[in-house]
């Protein structure tokens, strides 16, 4: 039981099916870990142990579902019946929806037990998780630093062993950035892979997924979450075989391009450059054809286009929050950065918005064409080390610019809709993990999972534990 917090979700599922562990024991272990660690880490907005234990007791004896009795959490910008969904905002403090998102229903159908909801920065804007309404989430590797964002609560919960796996979503790096900060696996699926219903329509930027400690967990969860739901306007076609079958399968020699360039020209920290170089050497040792490339990436002029679309998404989320709250947001209800985003969106005409989308789509075609020359692109996950708490905060209207310099490698692939995955690479001198990002062609999650699995076998990372993990 002492090692239980660091079992993977797949391992826990196997123990449960083999009756070496009961669902109640699995959930009790997670709840005890949350009670012990969350006061110092602040990963959760809401924990409902009584309801979670009732779900665990309801798992039938002999249940053969892959995750029957495995605990999980959902990010607090996604509806879960009876659990707080505050979007990180005072405006929705204590709001509890009366229905589940489609992806939550899918998790339940596969047997996952939802123990609570995890923190997000207000409306998911920043790559840190420091909502004024509930206080910051902290990195288990160094509590003075951010776990990243916007799925920072999820990352803190998984990295510290409170949970084996947690839901997150990614509109500009919000799965991959916290995974990178906390030494986890974080896959942003292809656009349209996971339904955002029933509340949200299809999104140009946002995808849902999970944060986990292993590639196998990530693949297995993607099989659970992905697929068309009735009424979806657009959706990714299903894979030829389940994603979990890609893990451990030899992809053969691939063409892997390597670059540390990014669209805004931010210089990467030497630790991140070292992580890329060492990973490139490992991939070459695995038989891949690895070479430095100078891709024709968009420059800083693309950032205002992205911000136009991103701000509109934030304003839409804020409008939805006001609808749920039954009132307009007052001066103290939202943070200054959120208000600035709302004002920017209000000042943007529909023609300007559609023009920005069209220009980003044109940029996407140019970027995706680069995959004719290679199969996978290897880049840093971050440009800087995880900031200290308070360095990138929603009280500053310039926080978005600071955020872009911290994590300039993520948002481009939300624009193109390509799958991208962050995987651990090692530990830096500051004691925090280093991580790299692999980017695949459209609908190429299977290739990314194969390569990530090779790296995981060659350079295992799942047993690395932060100070709070012992």
150 catalytic per annotation: yes
From the list 89, 133, 151, 174, the catalytic residue is 174
Identify whether 96 is a catalytic site residue. Answer: no
Active-site option among 8, 29, 89, 150: 150
Strand ranges of the sheet holding 44-47, from the earlier edge strand across to the other edge: 44-47, 113-118, 71-75, 165-170, 207-212, 185-188, 420-427, 433-439, 376-380, 255-258, 289-292
Catalytic-role residue among 8, 29, 75, 338: 75
Q: Which residues are tagged catalytic?
A: 75, 150, 174
């Amino acid at each position: 039981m002492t090692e239980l917090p660091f079992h993977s979700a797949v391992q826990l599922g196997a123990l449960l099916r083999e009756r070496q562990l009961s669902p109640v024991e699995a959930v009790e272990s997670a709840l005890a870990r949350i009670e012990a660690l969350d006061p110092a880490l602040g990963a959760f907005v809401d924990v409902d142990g009584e309801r979670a234990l009732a779900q665990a007791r309801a798992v039938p004896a002999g249940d053969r579902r892959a995750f029957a009795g495995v605990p999980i959490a959902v990010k607090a910008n996604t509806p879960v019946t009876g659990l707080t969904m505050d979007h990180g905002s005072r405006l929705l403090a204590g709001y509890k929806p009366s229905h589940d998102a489609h992806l939550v229903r899918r998790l339940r159908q596969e047997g996952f037990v939802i123990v609570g909801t995890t923190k997000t920065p207000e409306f998911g804007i920043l790559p840190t998780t420091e909502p004024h309404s509930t206080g910051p989430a902290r990195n288990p590797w160094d509590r003075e630093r951010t776990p990243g964002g916007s799925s920072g609560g999820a990352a803190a919960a998984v990295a510290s062993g409170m949970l084996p796996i947690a839901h997150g979503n990614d509109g500009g790096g919000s799965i991959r950035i916290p995974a990178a900060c906390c030494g986890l696996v974080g896959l942003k699926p292809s656009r349209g892979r996971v339904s955002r219903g029933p509340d949200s329509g299809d999104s140009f930027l946002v995808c849902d997924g999970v944060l986990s400690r292993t590639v196998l967990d990530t693949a297995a969860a993607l099989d659970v979450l992905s697929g068309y739901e009735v009424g979806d306007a657009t959706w990714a076609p299903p894979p030829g075989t389940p994603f979990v079958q890609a893990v451990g399968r030899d992809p053969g020699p691939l063409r892997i391009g390597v670059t540390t360039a990014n669209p805004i020209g931010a210089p990467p920290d030497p630790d991140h450059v070292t992580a890329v170089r060492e990973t490139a050497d490992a991939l070459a040792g695995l038989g891949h054809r690895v070479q430095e490339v100078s891709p024709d990436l968009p420059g800083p002029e693309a950032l205002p286009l992205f911000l136009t679309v991103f701000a509109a998404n934030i304003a839409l989320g804020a409008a939805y929050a006001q609808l749920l709250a039954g009132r307009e947001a007052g001066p103290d209800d939202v943070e200054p950065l959120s208000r600035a985003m709302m004002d920017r969106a209000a000042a943007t005409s529909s023609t300007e918005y559609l023009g920005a989308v069209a220009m980003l789509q044109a940029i996407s075609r140019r970027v995706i064409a680069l995959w004719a020359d290679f199969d996978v692109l290897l880049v840093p996950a971050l440009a800087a080390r995880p900031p200290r708490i308070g360095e990138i905060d929603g009280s500053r209207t310039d926080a978005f610019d600071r955020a872009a310099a911290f994590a300039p490698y993520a948002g481009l692939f939300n624009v193109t809709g390509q799958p991208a995955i962050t995987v651990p690479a090692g530990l830096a001198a500051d004691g925090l993990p280093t991580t790299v990002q692999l980017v695949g062609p459209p609908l190429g999650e299977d290739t990314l999972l194969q390569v990530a699995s090779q790296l995981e076998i060659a350079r295992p990372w799942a047993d690395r534990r932060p100070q709070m993990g012992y």
